[in-house]
Amino acid sequence: MKTRMFGLFIYILLLLMQLSFGSCPDGWMRHDSTCYHFSHDTEAMLVAKLSCQVLGGALLEIETAAENAYIAGYIKDKYSYYYIGLNDIQEEGVWVWVESSSSASYLNWRPNEPNSVGNDENCVVIDKNSGQWLDVACHNFFHYICEKKDGDAEIIG
């Protein structure tokens, strides 16, 4: 009986710790209070956005230099470019986040960007080499990064 009570106590303790500290679902990486998913496939921006939603998140909104540095450090040995959730589709030159519809307060453009080559570059990718951003055509296929707050993470088990 004591062994069974002890086992139940340990199970409850572990469950409480998981709830307190949070966790990210399989395929997601935790950094601070955010879970990130770095895609292994490429999509056009709209499909990347929908894929993030299906996974329970949203296309990445980079809010600080520290967050950008973490993302850049993680992707530096990965694929060339990753979509983030910034665009100027509604109004040229006015960069807003796809999910929150808020203006970007932090920007990290590569020199001479955004340049809107051919007036057809309304979406943004982060470059693995520099961690800087450049505008691209939204129909191009790139990897993408999703995010969700750790509190939104589904706990399974």
Give the per-residue pLDDT at 146. Answer: 98
pLDDT grade for 142, boundaries at 50, 70 and 90:
very high
Quote the pLDDT of residue 79: 85
Residue 111 lies in a domain: yes
Q: How does residue 111 score in pLDDT terms, banded at 50, 70 and 90?
A: very high
Number of domains comprising the chain: 1
Range of the domain at 142: 26-151
CB 36 within 8 A of CB 61: no
Whether residue 4 is contained in a domain is answered as no
| CATH value at residue 37 | 3.10.100.10
Residue type, 133: W
Task: Answer for the pair 46, 139: CB distance below 8 angstroms, yes or no.
Answer: no
In a domain, 31, yes or no: yes
pLDDT higher than 80, residue 86: yes
Mean pLDDT of 2-16: 46
> What pLDDT does 13 receive?
39
Q: Is residue 128 part of a domain?
A: yes
Q: Is 104 exposed, middle or buried (0-12, 13-18, 19+ CB in 10 A)?
A: buried
- Is 7 part of any domain? no
Does 153 have pLDDT greater than 80? Answer: no
Q: Would you say residue 138 has pLDDT above 90?
A: yes
Q: What is the mean pLDDT of residues 125-149?
A: 96
Q: What is the pLDDT of residues 19-77, one digit of tens each?
A: 445 689 999 999 999 999 999 999 999 999 999 999 999 999 999 999 999 999 999 98
Q: 146 Cβ partners below 8 Å, 6+ apart?
A: 36, 37, 39, 51, 52, 55, 57, 58, 59, 60
Evaluate whether residue 44 is within a structural domain. Answer: yes
